[in-house]
Amino acid sequence: MPPSCGMAVLGDLYLNRSNRIRLSNASQPSGDLRQGPTTLEKRFTSAGEKLNPSRRKLLRLILENPEDTFFLSSRELAKRYKVDAATIVRTIQALGYNKYAEFTADLRAHFVTQITPYAVLKAASKEKRTVADRIRHGMEMDLRNLQALQSSLNPEKIIALSKRVKRARRILIVGIDLAAGLSWHLGYGLMTLGFNAEAPVGSTGNVQRRVRSLNRQDLLIAISFGQCLRDTVEAAIRAKKLRVPTFGITDSETSPIARICDDSCIASVASPSFGGSYVAPSSLLGTILIACAHTQTARSLELLRRSEEEDRADHRWYRPRNHGESVE
């Protein structure tokens, strides 16, 4: 991994709001790119008199702590706020939801607009846990993220992406700060399989100049989470203007990357840590590399065979010699 991947302190999830971008309409890449209240906030406001004081207080608590509630079942949520499950159901019905799953989907979308390092760490610090408990909780969240990816992943979408990769003249993978580690991993894997892939690092200009060199025969893969980084979003917008096929890897169907790109895959980065969790996105990249390898198995085997032979040759050349052994 290049040194620049470890230079970010807070990473792709939680950079300052000045470097974030929120879209109200992906088809409008210019002008005011900020969005208003989330869907859940709008429903909460419009519910008005349908909500009695206790339900209003319950919803306000849920909205203020989405990072700890969006993954809970209705019974778990009820237990957390010391109410019965029927109260949860009636409360979300008052907001106009027919199914609990619809409510949690909007709660998750609300969550990704709220996360900051301070908010996440503050919420975690309120819970009475030992450091050991916090470590276990972090791993539990990693596991939940993986399980969510496993249950929602559409293999046909990954196969379609692998075919697009195979046809592409060039593949540009844009991921910044901690997401640079993901982009570098995917780029290196694709290059190993013989594709002309690149994951640029460095300044905004360095990324944008490479995007400007793309055309319809190429492919741009954008990786960003939460409210999404401005540079990554602008790279995707520029690629769309150039009619370059685009694919996004993000954590919400309502994120700017998901809205802009032609298609996308969702992998949660939810974590009690301010640094976020990249376990599920890393697993997602693994599925992409598997599909790319097996949609052209013969070529992949030949390239890997050559690489293995070269590695063996290098190993023989540099192997330690016994005392007195000739170099020749």
**DSSP string for residues in 169-194:** S-EEEEE-THHHHHHHHHHHHHHHTT
pLDDT of residue 165: 96
pLDDT of residue 247: 98
The structure tokens listed for 24 are 């109200």
CA dist 77 and 55 (Å) reads 13
Tell me the pLDDT of the chain averaged across its residues. Answer: 80
CA dist 171 and 186 (Å) reads 10
pLDDT of residue 238: 95
What are 261-276's pLDDT values in tens digits?
999 999 988 877 766 7
pLDDT of residue 187: 96
Confidence of residue 290 (pLDDT cuts 50, 70, 90): very high
Spatial CB neighbours of 152, under 8 Å, sequence gap ≥ 6:
266
The structure tokens listed for 3 are 């040194």
Confidence of residue 33 (pLDDT cuts 50, 70, 90): very low
pLDDT of residue 177: 85
Of how many residues is the chain composed? 328
The residue that leads in pLDDT, 124 or 294, is: 294
The residue that leads in pLDDT, 96 or 204, is: 96
The residue that leads in pLDDT, 316 or 167, is: 167
pLDDT of residue 318: 59
What are 188-209's pLDDT values in tens digits?
999 989 999 999 986 788 899 9
Residue 298 has pLDDT above 60, yes or no: yes
pLDDT more than 70, % of the chain? 77
- Scan for tokens 């890449």, then name that residue: 29
The structure tokens listed for 199 are 């994951």
Spatial CB neighbours of 62, under 8 Å, sequence gap ≥ 6:
69, 77, 81, 107
- Scan for tokens 């200009």, then name that residue: 205
Q: What are phi and psi of 289, to 5 degrees?
A: -65, -35
The structure tokens listed for 301 are 């085997």
CA dist 101 and 90 (Å) reads 14
The single-letter code of the amino acid at 128 is K
The residue that leads in pLDDT, 215 or 299, is: 215
Residue 241 has pLDDT above 80, yes or no: yes
pLDDT of residue 325: 54
- Scan for tokens 């100049």, then name that residue: 209
Residue 176 forms beta bridges with which residues?
A: none
pLDDT of residue 72: 83
Report, in angstroms and rounded to the nearest whole number, the Rg of the chain calculated over CA atoms: 23
What are 54-80's pLDDT values in tens digits?
888 998 888 877 766 777 888 898 998
Tell me what the mean pLDDT of segment 144-170 comes to: 94
Residue 21 has pLDDT above 60, yes or no: no
CA dist 115 and 127 (Å) reads 17
pLDDT of residue 260: 94
The residue that leads in pLDDT, 142 or 247, is: 247
The structure tokens listed for 143 are 């596991």
Decide: 47 and 95 in contact? Cβ < 8 Å: yes
pLDDT of residue 118: 65
